[in-house]
Amino acid sequence: MKERKALDSEEDINNLLALDNQLCFALYAVNRAITGRYRPLLAELDLTYPQYLVMLVMWEADRKGDSPRVSSIGERLRLDSGTLTPLLRRLEQRGLLTRQRSSEDERVVTVALTDEGRAMREKASDVPLRLLCDLGVGPEQAVQLREDLRDLLSRVEGDR
Torsion of CA 41, 95, 109, 64, to 10 degrees: -60
| SS3 label, residue 106 | coil
Cα–Cα distance measured from residue 33 to residue 113, given in angstroms and rounded to the nearest whole number: 30
Residue 7 binding a second copy, by CB under 8 A? no
Nearest to 54 by CA among 117, 108, 11, 3: 117
Helix or strand (DSSP H, E) at 73 = helix 70-77
- According to CB under 8 A, which one of 5, 64, 107, 155 is a site residue for a second copy? 155
CA 1 vs CA 4, 5, 6, 10, 14: distances in Å: 9, 12, 12, 15, 19
Identity of the residue, 2 or 155, whose beta carbon is nearer to DNA in the bound complex: 155
Question: Closest approach of Cβ 73 to a second copy, in Å?
Answer: 13
Q: Pick from a second copy, DNA, none: which does 149 bind, CB < 5 to 8 A by kind?
A: a second copy
Using CB under 7 A as the binding criterion, the count of chain residues that bind DNA stands at 32
Q: Pick from a second copy, DNA, none: which does 112 bind, CB < 5 to 8 A by kind?
A: none
By the criterion CB under 8 A, which residues form the site for a second copy?
13-14, 16-38, 49, 53, 56, 59-60, 63, 77-78, 124-125, 127-129, 131-132, 135-137, 142, 144-146, 148-150, 152-153, 155-159
